[in-house]
């Protein structure tokens, strides 16, 4: 008699989107009241930051989602699934659309968390977001948190999808995750119309 899958086994296929959403929700709900006072003013500021983050991140999100399709076509990695396309086969239209949608959503998530980080930087809790582009800031840490969540959980999902992840899939997944890290800085650049405000 087959045993019922454990809670962890049932969670694994959905772990990346659920946990990325949890990181975004935690950054949006918890961080602003901790930095500012828990008031309506803080809520309005948070909503304004969210709107600006989405608007400023959207062009980069579209570019990453579409320009990373070769990762899927060559069987390296995908934002949507840990499974890669077998050699000699092409991804279906559904696979392509899932990759583009997931890539767009993860870049937006990194932009939103990075936007909350920009707010922390401007509030004086970190180094200035504009002083030195190479200094670590909350803006970069926010986007990196989404990237680490994506890479870690996607590789964890690989362990069960087709056996252990191979070196190509691991490298491709890490490369896709690295594209999420500069999202906050790129959103700030887009917001400043090509200059760092």
**In 3D, which of 97, 112, 18 has the Cα closest to residue 60?**
112
pLDDT tier, 65 (very low <50, low <70, confident <90, very high otherwise): very high
Q: DSSP per residue over 9-34, as a string?
A: HHHGGGHHHHHHHHHHHHHHHTHHHH
CA–CA gap between residue 120 and residue 92 (Å, rounded): 42
What is the count of structural domains for the chain? 1
Q: Which of 108-112, 140-144, 151-155, 182-186 has the highest mean pLDDT?
A: 108-112
pLDDT tier, 131 (very low <50, low <70, confident <90, very high otherwise): low
With a cut of 60, say whether residue 160 has pLDDT above it.
no
Q: Judge whether 3 lies within some domain.
A: no
- pTM equals 0.83
Residue 84's φ and ψ, nearest 5 degrees, are -105, 165
Residue 74's φ and ψ, nearest 5 degrees, are -90, 0
* Between residues 136 and 63, the one the model is more confident about: 63
With a cut of 90, say whether residue 63 has pLDDT above it.
yes
User: Which tokens go with 175?
Assistant: 């490369």
Q: Judge whether 35 lies within some domain.
A: yes
For residue 50, the enclosing domain spans 12-191
Q: Judge whether 117 lies within some domain.
A: yes
With a cut of 80, say whether residue 14 has pLDDT above it.
no
């Amino acid at each position: 008699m087959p045993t019922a899958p454990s809670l962890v086994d049932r969670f694994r296929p959905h772990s990346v989107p659920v946990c990325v959403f949890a990181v975004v929700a935690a950054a949006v709900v918890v961080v602003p009241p901790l930095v500012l006072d828990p008031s309506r003013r803080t809520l309005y500021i948070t909503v304004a930051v969210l709107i600006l983050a989405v608007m400023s991140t959207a062009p980069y999100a579209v570019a990453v989602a579409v320009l990373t399709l070769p990762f899927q076509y060559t069987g390296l990695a995908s934002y949507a699934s840990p499974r890669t396309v077998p050699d000699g086969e092409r991804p279906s239209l559904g696979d392509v659309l899932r990759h583009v949608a997931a890539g767009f959503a993860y870049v937006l998530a990194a932009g939103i968390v990075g936007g909350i980080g920009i707010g922390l930087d401007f509030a004086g809790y970190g180094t200035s977001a504009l002083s030195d582009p190479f200094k670590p800031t909350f803006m970069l840490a926010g986007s990196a948190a989404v990237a680490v969540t994506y890479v870690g959980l996607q590789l964890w999902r690989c362990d069960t999808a087709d056996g252990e992840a191979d070196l190509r899939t691991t490298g491709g997944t890490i490369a896709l995750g690295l594209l999420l890290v500069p999202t906050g800085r790129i959103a700030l650049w887009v917001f400043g119309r090509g200059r760092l405000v």
